[in-house]
Amino acid sequence: MPVDFMGRIFYILDRYGASFIRGAAVTMVIALVGTLIGCVIGFLVGIVQTIPVEKQDGPVKRIVLWIVKLILNIYVEIFRGTPMMAQAMFIYFGSMAMFGINMSMWFAAFFIVSINTGAYMAETVRGGILSIDPGQTEGAKAIGMTHIQTMVNVILPQALRNIMPQIGNNLIINIKDTCVLAIIGTVELFYTTNGVAGALYTYFEAFSIAMVMYFVLTFTCSRILRYFEKRMDGPDSYDLTTTDTLAHTSGLYRYPDRKEEEQ
Amino acid sequence: MTERVLEVHHLSKTFGKNVVLRDVDFRVDTGDVTCIIGASGSGKSTLLRCINMLETPTTGAVTFHELDITSRDVNVSQYRSQVGMVFQNFNLFSNMTVLENCMVGQMKVLKKSRAEARKNAMQYLEKVGMAPYINAKPRQISGGQKQRVAIARALAMEPEVLLFDEPTSALDPQMVGEVLAVMRTLAKEGLTMIIVTHEMAFARDVSNHVVFMANGVIEEEGRPEDIFGAPQKALTKEFLSRFMQG
């Protein structure tokens, strides 16, 4: 083993480079899938929580809605209010002890990260929906859209744009926080690093590599998401259109639907 | 030949202890252009919002072709697709272009095909002079242009009645002109409209029925020449004298 710092780094990379890559891949897969499923859960919960109760609704609908909202509130509060590491232990070992379910490492990891992200995203989505000007809802209702049509076509696309920074935040938090899953034996980047460090007794060097790898992962993700945000905003300018083909000068646009032209 | 389209029967609306509308009663026939005038806070906008069920009336009824739309079994969305509304703050969908704003209702509510919706939308956008701007987003156009798009969006649904809630109150004088010009054209073409407005000259020239509201009740109503020429009630006189001077 080399005696200088950089030498040891290269030595570790040479011997365990593949393990590090595999660990980083596991981390990314868990973070990405967990964030994705978490977002879906968050959207569903957030949408249900913002269903308005209207005067003409019957008592059955009111009671059902009240119960569903209560259950979802309990879910959000419990998973937001307890550490993910404790949840991991509780769910992984609890499912075994209580129901005899032997969760696979992958399933446990996805489950815990998703359900956690879902709890945070639910509040984010709720905030995103509430942040949209009520005029948008009224405009949609006034042309005869139902609540669902209004949500799908008008409110959610705008809410999604507004909460994109928060989704990015959650993804980055998940990339970092998957390391708590090491406690239930998920072989991700932290677990791998710990193993390598222990095997060679090179804690500083191994974790230097892990730090760089974590940072590269999170930084890349945040830049990619920023790019998507820009794309969602669309172009800053627009083209004028004209029916008069003789007046087809710069800055003017021809009539037909661009989507139809592509077909 | 005219036919009764809309009737408001003894409508009242309270917000908590606050009585906004008290026993309001009036009717609209096909082709009528009804202007509702009155001071701010007199309940004009609330009345219009009750007609479109954006607010639920506390008591009373609103009937559309004899059908009481305040009843619980009426499909409100279906009713609203036949009664358009134009808002003071435009309420264009900011995630869509001008053209999409005018197409989405036709496609989702009326279930028209994309091509058909587009053709229809273009026709109305041309009518309000906004056809060149179909690719713009609402944030990129001026207030007057937004309001004209909002009118085209409402027209594209081919409503029987169009409600206007102070359509020019958020606009500067030049933009007011362009929006009123569009509304004048619509009135000439015989579209049934109910307009809440502070534009007295417009109300006098374009409407055939004027409703003056004060403190949540209809103080006086009638033909524009009567209301503006020879108002009967003291409140009407006072309100109009202030407006006509300014």
pLDDT digits (tens, 9 = 90+) for B215-236: 999 999 999 999 998 899 999 9
Location of structure tokens 């030498």: A7
Average pLDDT over residues B74-86: 91
pLDDT of residue A29: 94
Q: Is B192 exposed, middle or buried (0-12, 13-18, 19+ CB in 10 A)?
A: buried
Please give the residue of chain A at the shortest CA–CA distance from B118: A257
Select the more confidently predicted residue: B242 or B235.
Answer: B235
pLDDT of residue A256: 55
Residue A53: pLDDT band by 50, 70, 90 thresholds? confident
Q: Order of strands, edge to edge, in the sheet holding B67-68?
A: B18-29, B4-15, B59-64, B67-68
How far is B103 from B92, CA to CA, in rounded Å? 12
- Across the interface, whether the CB atoms of A157 and B84 are under 8 A apart is answered no
How far is A167 from A38, CA to CA, in rounded Å? 10
Question: Which of B82, B93, B153 shows the shortest C-beta gap to A136?
Answer: B93
Question: Which of B90, B132, B154 shows the shortest C-beta gap to A143?
Answer: B154
Select the more confidently predicted residue: A239 or B81.
Answer: B81
Contacts of A253 in chain B (CB under 8 A): 135
pLDDT of residue A257: 57
Global pTM reads: 0.83
Contacts of A141 in chain B (CB under 8 A): 54, 77, 80
- B93 CB within 8 Å of a chain A CB: yes
> What length does chain B have?
246
**Tens digit of pLDDT for each residue in A126-151?**
999 999 999 999 999 999 999 899 99
- Our CA-based measurement puts residue A130 at a distance from the nearest CA of chain B, in whole angstroms, of 15
pLDDT of residue B165: 94
pLDDT of residue A244: 52
Helices (H) and strands (E) in chain A, counts: 10, 2
Residue B174: pLDDT band by 50, 70, 90 thresholds? confident
How far is A127 from A49, CA to CA, in rounded Å? 11
How far is A120 from B243, CA to CA, in rounded Å? 55
How far is A199 from A99, CA to CA, in rounded Å? 36
pLDDT of residue B210: 94
User: For residue B128, which of B175, B183, B87 has the smallest C-alpha distance?
Assistant: B183
Token pair for A53: 């109760």
The number of beta carbons lying within 10 Å of the beta carbon of residue B177 is: 12
How far is B216 from B197, CA to CA, in rounded Å? 16
Task: Please say whether the beta carbons of A1 and A200 come within 8 A.
Answer: yes
**Tens digit of pLDDT for each residue in A240-259?**
776 555 554 544 555 555 55
pLDDT of residue B1: 59
Residue A186: pLDDT band by 50, 70, 90 thresholds? confident
pLDDT of residue A263: 45
Q: Strand, coil or helix: what is A29?
A: helix
Average pLDDT over residues B30-57: 91
> Which range is least confidently modeled, A91-105, A109-123, B148-162?
A91-105
- Across the interface, whether the CB atoms of A238 and B104 are under 8 A apart is answered no
How far is A61 from A151, CA to CA, in rounded Å? 19
**Tens digit of pLDDT for each residue in B113-140?**
999 999 999 999 999 989 999 999 999 9
pLDDT of residue A55: 63
User: For residue B203, which of B238, B237, B243, B174 has the smallest C-alpha distance?
Assistant: B243
- B107 CB within 8 Å of a chain A CB: no
pLDDT of residue A260: 53
pLDDT of residue A113: 93
Residue A239: pLDDT band by 50, 70, 90 thresholds? confident
pLDDT of residue A154: 95
